[in-house]
Amino acid sequence: MSPEELPDAILDAAYPIPYHPPLSRRRWLVAALRLRAAAEADGGVGFYKVDDATGKVTRLRKECPNAECGAGTFMANHFDRHYCGKCGLTYVYNQQA
């Protein structure tokens, strides 16, 4: 049987209409995906950097010193602070006038 010969009730179950989120949510999602694709195309925003000549690995982000976070939990770099999303620890940079 082809899809044209099936009743509408069976077609609705077999071929559900995909859900589309509201337009504002879709715009936000498309913008976020474009930013992620651009970051990956530029080599990505990583946590480590490997020097090709020496093979030395350097961390690009600060690790959280809190004991509850554990090793390998990195803090986010903001323009005025470091922030841990897991425990909420924040280090604010010195504001020099």
Number of domains in the chain: 2
What is residue 39's three-state secondary structure? helix
Question: Against a cut of 0.75, is the pTM above it?
Answer: no
Kindly report, residue by residue over 12-35, the tens digit of the pLDDT: 565 666 776 666 777 878 877 887
Tell me: do 65 and 88 sit in the same domain: yes
Give the pairing of strands 81-83 and 76-77: antiparallel
Domain contains 6: no
Residue type, 61: R
H-type helices in the chain, by residue range?
8-14, 23-41
Distance CA 41, CA 51 (A): 19
Distance CA 87, CA 93 (A): 19
Range of the domain at 33: 21-60
Domain contains 32: yes
Residue 69: count other Cβ atoms within 10 Å of its Cβ.
17
Q: What proportion of the chain, given as a percentage, has pLDDT over 90?
A: 22
